[in-house]
Amino acid sequence: MEPKQIYEILSGKFNGKIKQFVENTFPPSVIVEPDSVVDVCRFLKTEESMDFKSLICLSGVDLKEQGKMAVVYHLGSMNHKHKIAIKVELDRNNPHVQTVESVWPGANWYEREAYDLLGIIFDGHSDLRRILMPEDWEGHPMRKDYVYPKQYHTWDV
């Protein structure tokens, strides 16, 4: 199925929750309201004609100039050989979004990474700890206004 068709089906089903279709990204992306992302994802996974069984990647993006944080879900279907990206935009000062762990269990570690590096909070996540940085690290190093600490434990960074 073409991404444009997927977008049209989604906007028919989730009235008012689907904000925009962006064609010039790869794969083309659909911008969704943060509060309905779990419903949209579950629909995309379970619906026979969509069949997005695989969450290829989940990544956080810091859009500092626009005062936003974004989470991008790259989805793929092995059976239908189509791809799409779902994107949610959050408030940069208080980035909260529901976890999609209940849809794809593999999202667990992706979401921990986005939390670790960008400080995006995934509500309802079963184990939201840091994954790459040490537990007692301060701040989220991939944020664009992050200031590196001079010292960590006994050595300089």
Partner 1 sequence: MGVLEDKLPDNILFTNVDKFLNWSKKSSLWYMLFATACCGIELMQAGASRYDLDRFGAIFRASPRQSDLMIVAGTITHMMADRVKRLYEQMPSPKYVIAMGSCANTGGPFFKDSYSVLKGVDKIIPVDVYVPGCPPKPEALIEGIMKLQKKVMEEKNLVKK
- Residues at the contact surface with partner 1, assessed by CB under 8 A: 132-134, 137, 141-142, 146, 148, 152-157
The torsion angles phi and psi of 3, rounded to 5 degrees, stand at -55, -35
- Shortest gap between Cβ of 112 and partner 1 (angstroms)? 14
Instruction: Say whether the peptide bond before residue 27 is cis (omega within 30 degrees of 0).
Output: yes
CA distance 33 to 157: 39
In the complex with partner 1, which residue's Cβ is closer, 26 or 148? 148
Residue 34 contacts by C-beta under 8 Å, 6 or more apart in sequence? 88, 89, 90, 96, 97, 98
- Shortest gap between Cβ of 142 and partner 1 (angstroms)? 8
Q: Which residue has the tokens 């943060």?
A: 34
In the complex with partner 1, which residue's Cβ is closer, 123 or 136? 136
- Shortest gap between Cβ of 113 and partner 1 (angstroms)? 12
- Shortest gap between Cβ of 57 and partner 1 (angstroms)? 20
Q: Which residue has the tokens 């999609």?
A: 100
